[in-house]
Amino acid sequence: MTKAERLKIYESFFHQVNVYCITMNNEKIQDAVGLISSWSYAHRVGNGELSDSQQRKQVENVINKMKEYV
């Protein structure tokens, strides 16, 4: 996944979160916060025990879930 692809996913994801905030859809907002938490965890998981490719795969899995969220 390229940086441009990730950026497009992030932009779409954040726009959708904003829409759910405006419409006060708490269930979807909670889902989004869960994805953001998973994204953060994927960046720090393993404490250096995972290879770069393993960690990158975990991050990309969460990014794909963000893409599906939209």
pLDDT in tens, 37-59: 999 999 888 677 888 899 899 99
Model pTM? 0.87
Supply the pLDDT for residue 46: 67
Query: Residue 17: which of 43, 2, 35 has the closest Cα?
Result: 35
Say how far apart CA 68 and CA 7 lie, in whole Å: 15
Say how far apart CA 13 and CA 70 lie, in whole Å: 6
pLDDT in tens, 18-31: 999 999 999 999 99
Tokens 């390229």, residue located: 2
Tokens 């979160």, residue located: 17
Whether 45 and 35 have beta carbons less than 8 Å apart is answered as no
Cα 22 from chain centroid?
20
